[in-house]
Amino acid sequence: MNAIDPMTQSTVSSGTGNRSIGAILIDTGKLTLDNAERILHFQKEHGLQFGDAAKRLGLLTDADIQFALARQYDYPYLLAGEGLVSEELIAAYEPFSPQVEALRGLRSQLMLRWFTDEAERKTLAIASPGRNEGRSYLAANLAVVFSQLGEHTLLIDADLRNPRQHQLFGLENRSGLSSLLSGRGDVADVQRIPSFVDLSVLAAGPMPPNPQELLGRPAFARLLDEFSREFDVVIIDTPAGRDYADIQTIAVRASGALLVARKHQTSLVKLGAMHEALRRMGVQLVGSVVSEFRSDTNRSRLSAIDTMPSGAAAVQSNGRASVA
């Protein structure tokens, strides 16, 4: 055996196990055994932490060290280029970025305002009036950050007209919510996400000719009741509210909704009208989120997020969202 064994020596205590940073990085191909030994010798010689020694030698980056520490403490996330899920899931790939910190702040507010041990407060619809306003993006990333907290989380794609969640998570969409509601599916349609042990996704399934009728069936309410008993958090992606009445059925079944507006795009008049319509139907509006996206290598990504108490958007004047 080597005088210093990088597979057994730990320079940083693990919160959930005894695996060292070196062992984790060797297993993931970020570090060779020879380089791990170099780091350990340099660490001992200069009295440094393992990560600091590795960076001084130019063998590891800050991102590599953060990844290993996250694995030590059972905080799941992915390295760029692994290609398991879409890079739009910034909570999966960039958990230490300011954008994801904002998502964690939103998660904390939702835990305080909505998600409790009560069965009727386990499901939340993510809604907005128009298309391309960030509903699917926000729903997916929220599901990831809730699962990273250790909450047993289910993401349901209830947009039976233009589903996206199977694309974001790299899943098959041959069967899903539409299959279950039409009596042609089973619980196996709920797919576990291997990289995130507490996250499951129910894809939309084949696009039906009668989505509103399917969602209006008692089977949808029974399904949500069942999921509320099985999961801690159930997040529901929805279609554009101004185009389809599906959102009303979904939000009533979920009992609560989070409204989404996109800066410089969402009409606040339409957002306010949607807020009022859902309120009249007995849906509890948990709050509103204003998101800002920027173009980055030909794709949109979240650059800012702000939250407002429920009802704040309903009192704005007409025009486009413009939040500082």
Do 231 and 117 meet the contact criterion of CB atoms below 8 Å apart?
A: no
User: pLDDT, tens digit, for every residue of 191-206?
Assistant: 999 889 899 999 999 9
Q: Which domains does the chain have, with CATH numbers?
A: 1-75 (no CATH), 90-315 (3.40.50.300)
Comparing 18 with 209, the larger pLDDT belongs to: 209
Residue 319's pLDDT is 32
Q: What is the mean pLDDT of residues 85-110?
A: 90
Residue 315's pLDDT is 30
Is the pLDDT assigned to residue 96 strictly greater than 90? no
Distance of CA 95 to the CA centre of its chain: 11
Residue 65's pLDDT is 79
Do 102 and 117 meet the contact criterion of CB atoms below 8 Å apart?
A: no
Mean pLDDT, the chain, integer? 83
Measured distance CA(45)–CA(100) in Å, rounded: 38
Q: What is the mean pLDDT of residues 34-41?
A: 90
- 230 Cβ partners below 8 Å, 6+ apart? 152, 154
Q: Which contiguous run of DSSP H or E holds residue 276?
A: helix 268-280
In 209-245, alpha helices (H): 211-215, 218-230
CA dihedral 102, 84, 197, 6 (to 10 degrees): -100
User: pLDDT, tens digit, for every residue of 14-25?
Assistant: 333 467 888 878
CA dihedral 225, 230, 232, 235 (to 10 degrees): -60
- 288 Cβ partners below 8 Å, 6+ apart? 258, 259, 260, 261, 271, 275, 307, 308, 309, 310, 312, 313
- Put simply, whether the predicted model's pTM sits higher than 0.85 gets the answer no
Q: Quick one: which of 24, 260, 269 has its CA closest to 134?
A: 260
Residue 248: C-alpha distances to residues 32, 84, 142, 217 (Å): 55, 33, 21, 13
